[in-house]
Amino acid sequence: MNQWWQYWPGHFKPEECDKLIEIAKTLPIVDAKIGIEDEGSKQNQNVRRSRIRWLPRFDSRFFQLFGSIELLFYEANRNAFGFDVSLFHEIQFTEYDAKDKGTYGWHHDTTWVSNRLMRRKLSLTIQLTDPAEYEGGRFEFNSKVCGECPQPEKILPRGTVIIFPSFLEHRVTPVTKGVRNSLVSWMEGPYFR
């Protein structure tokens, strides 16, 4: 690994972001949990207050999105991380609403203790909402862990994509006005060696 993150400002155009939000909002919505679903995830409003929708991999409306994200994962891994990765299969649409003080406290996206054969190794976030439409909701890295992390302002522009190691601690600060929508996903691989 020779960098902490890779990013593409404005990779998705505003009209693409609008369309993704529109289509995603037709899917079933659930309250977000913490942990991995098949390993006993749970709700904890003190840590995470958001609602999510899962984008189906084999829905033709998302074929292009899945293909684009997969290419970005491989490009980022080749450029900066060099991890043994092999599996990308899900995209989560997340809604942080000021009515709930939507937030996700400090966390990382992988676990060292698990029965799963594959581990999340790379995480991806796509900023879908224009930052003028909400307040708060800053995506931040723990600078104590990552001295070279981007400032939240770099990640704010609509359509921006950022990829980083899943073990890197990060958070979304509470949304105080409006709604922030984003996409998140993960590239998996076998245990770190």
User: What band does 36 get if pLDDT is binned at 50, 70 and 90?
Assistant: low
159 Cβ partners below 8 Å, 6+ apart? 9, 10, 11, 12, 13, 14, 16, 17, 126, 127, 128
The pLDDT of 113-140, averaged and rounded, is 91
What pLDDT does residue 34 have?
79
Q: Which residue has the higher pLDDT, 67 or 192?
A: 67
Q: Enter the pTM of the model.
A: 0.92
Give Cα 46 to chain centroid, integer Å.
Answer: 19
Per DSSP, the three-state class of 108 is: coil
* DSSP conformational letter for 42: B
Task: Compute the distance between CA of residue 188 and CA of residue 71 in angstroms, rounded to an integer.
Answer: 14
User: In 110-174, which ranges are E strands?
Assistant: 118-127, 134-136, 139-141, 161-165, 170-172
The share of the chain scoring above pLDDT 70, in percent, equals 93
**Structural domains for the chain:** 6-31+50-127+136-190 (2.60.120.620)
Question: What is the overall mean pLDDT for the chain?
Answer: 90
Convert the pLDDT of each residue in 41-97 to its tens digit.
666 676 799 999 999 999 999 999 999 999 999 999 999 999 999 989 899 999 999
What are the tokens at 11? 């990779």
What pLDDT does residue 118 have?
82
What pLDDT does residue 39 have?
53
What pLDDT does residue 155 have?
87
Task: Compute the distance between CA of residue 133 and CA of residue 187 in angstroms, rounded to an integer.
Answer: 30
The pLDDT of 175-185, averaged and rounded, is 98
Task: Compute the distance between CA of residue 185 and CA of residue 66 in angstroms, rounded to an integer.
Answer: 10
171 Cβ partners below 8 Å, 6+ apart? 103, 104, 105, 106, 107, 139, 140, 142
| Residue that has been written with the tokens 């505003």 in this structure | 14
The pLDDT of 155-174, averaged and rounded, is 94
Q: Which residue has the higher pLDDT, 126 or 42?
A: 126
> What is the Cβ-side half-sphere exposure of residue 27, based on CA atoms within 13 angstroms?
21
